Structure 1
Amino acid sequence: MSTVRDPIAVVLVANTSDRAAALRTSLERADDRLAVEPVATVDAALEILRDSPVDCVVAIGRPAEPTGLPAVEAVRDRHPALPIVFCPDAALDASGVAEAFDAGATDVARASTDSDRAPVLVRRISNAVASARAVAEAERQRDRLEGFVHGVSHDLRNPLNVAQGRLEMARSEGDLEHVDTAASAVDRTLELIADLLTLAKQGERPGELEPVELSAVAEECWANVATGDATLVVDTDRRILAERGRLKRLLENLFRNSVEHGSTGSRTESGDSVEHGSTSSRVEPGDAVDHGRDDATVVVGDISPMYTTTRAGAVLPSGFFVEDDGPGIPEDERDRVFDVGYTTDRDGTGFGLNIVSEVASAHGWEVAVLDGSRGGARFEITGVERED
Structure 2
Amino acid sequence: MDPLDATSSVPRWVGPTALTVLGATLAATHGYHLWSESAASAASFFGSGVPMLLALAVAGGGPLLYRSRLDTAALTTTVVWGYIGGFVLGCISLLIAAHQALKGNPLHESAYMVATTVTGGALVGTVTGRFDALNRQKADLISSLQEATTALSTATTTDEVSHRAVEIANDVLQIPLTGIWLYDERADALAPAAVTEPALEAFDEPPTYRPGEGLSWDAFESGRVERYDDLSTEDSRHNPETVIRSEIIVPLGETGVMNFGSTEPSRFDDLDETVAELLGTATEAALVRADREEVLRTQRRLLRRQNERLEEFTSVVSHDLRNPLSVARGRTELAREDRTDAETHLDAATAALDDMESLIQDLLALAKQGQTVGETERVSAEAIAGDAWRNLGTIGATFEIEEFELDADPDRLRQLLENLFGNAAVHADDEPAVRLGPLPDGAGFFVEDDGPGIDLDARDRIFDIGYTDHEDGTGFGLSIVRRIADAHGWSVRATESGSGGARFEFRFDGTGAESST
Tell me, yes or no, if structure 1 residue 260 matches structure 2 residue 396: no
Tell me, yes or no, if structure 1 residue 18 matches structure 2 residue 176: no
| Structure 1 segment 324-363 matched on structure 2, within 5 A | 324-363=449-488
Cα distance, 1:13 vs. partner?
6.1
Tell me: higher relative CO, structure 1 or 2? Use CA pairs within 8 A at least 6 residues apart: 1
Amino acid at match of 2:351: S
| Structure 1 segment 227-242 matched on structure 2, within 5 A | 227-237=394-404, 239-242=405-408
Contact 1:10–1:36 under 8 Å retained in 2: no
Please provide the CA RMSD for this pair: 3.1
Please give the alpha-carbon distance, in whole angstroms, between the structure 2 residues aligned to 1:194 and 1:358.
15
Tell me, yes or no, if structure 1 residue 365 matches structure 2 residue 485: no
Tell me, yes or no, if structure 1 residue 128 matches structure 2 residue 293: yes
- Equivalent pairs counted in the alignment come to 267
Contact 2:178–2:195 under 8 Å retained in 1: no
Larger strand share, 1 or 2:
1
Please give the alpha-carbon distance, in whole angstroms, between the structure 2 residues aligned to 1:247 and 1:8.
30
Please give the alpha-carbon distance, in whole angstroms, between the structure 2 residues aligned to 1:328 and 1:297.
12
The one of 159, 167, 170 aligned to 2:332: 167
Please give the alpha-carbon distance, in whole angstroms, between the structure 2 residues aligned to 1:38 and 1:154.
58
Match for residue 186 of structure 1? 353
Cα distance, 1:22 vs. partner?
6.3
Amino acid at match of 1:240: L
Tell me the TM-score normalised to structure 2 length. 0.47
Cα shift readout 1:198-233 (whole Å, capped 9, x = no counterpart): 111111112211111112111121111122121111
Contact 1:240–1:384 under 8 Å retained in 2: no
Match for residue 300 of structure 1? 436
SS across alignment from 1:218: helix
Please give the alpha-carbon distance, in whole angstroms, between the structure 1 residues aligned to 2:401 and 2:158.
33
* Residue range with higher mean Cα deviation, 175-184 or 351-360: 175-184
Amino acid at match of 1:302: P
Cα distance, 1:119 vs. partner?
2.7
| Residue ranges of structure 2 left out of the alignment (5+ in a row) | 1-156, 185-189, 198-274, 511-517
SS across alignment from 1:380: strand
Please give the alpha-carbon distance, in whole angstroms, between the structure 1 residues aligned to 2:294 and 2:178.
20
| Structure 1 segment 76-225 matched on structure 2, within 5 A | 114-115=279-280, 117-174=282-339, 175-176=341-342, 177-225=344-392
Contact 1:111–1:121 under 8 Å retained in 2: no
SS across alignment from 2:407: strand
Amino acid at match of 1:146: E
Tell me the TM-score normalised to structure 1 length. 0.62
Larger helix share, 1 or 2:
2
Contact 2:394–2:430 under 8 Å retained in 1: no
Cα shift readout 1:168-222 (whole Å, capped 9, x = no counterpart): 2222233312122111111111121111111111111122111111121111211
Contact 2:327–2:349 under 8 Å retained in 1: yes
The 3 A distance-change label for structure 1 pair 379 and 37 is farther
Cα distance, 1:37 vs. partner?
8.8
Amino acid at match of 1:220: D
The one of 156, 180, 189 aligned to 1:27: 180
Cα distance, 1:114 vs. partner?
3.9
Contact 1:23–1:113 under 8 Å retained in 2: no
Please give the alpha-carbon distance, in whole angstroms, between the structure 2 residues aligned to 1:334 and 1:18.
48
Please give the alpha-carbon distance, in whole angstroms, between the structure 1 residues aligned to 2:159 and 2:495.
28
The 3 A distance-change label for structure 1 pair 126 and 16 is closer
Please give the alpha-carbon distance, in whole angstroms, between the structure 2 residues aligned to 1:24 and 1:129.
28
| Residue ranges of structure 1 left out of the alignment (5+ in a row) | 1-6, 40-109, 263-291, 307-317
Cα distance, 1:25 vs. partner?
4.2
Cα distance, 1:257 vs. partner?
0.7
Please give the alpha-carbon distance, in whole angstroms, between the structure 2 residues aligned to 1:111 and 1:376.
59
Amino acid at match of 1:245: D
Contact 1:112–1:118 under 8 Å retained in 2: no
SS across alignment from 1:207: coil
Cα shift readout 1:108-148 (whole Å, capped 9, x = no counterpart): xx997744553332212211212111211111121122112
Larger radius of gyration: 2
> Identical aligned pairs, as a percentage?
41
Tell me, yes or no, if structure 1 residue 248 matches structure 2 residue 248: no
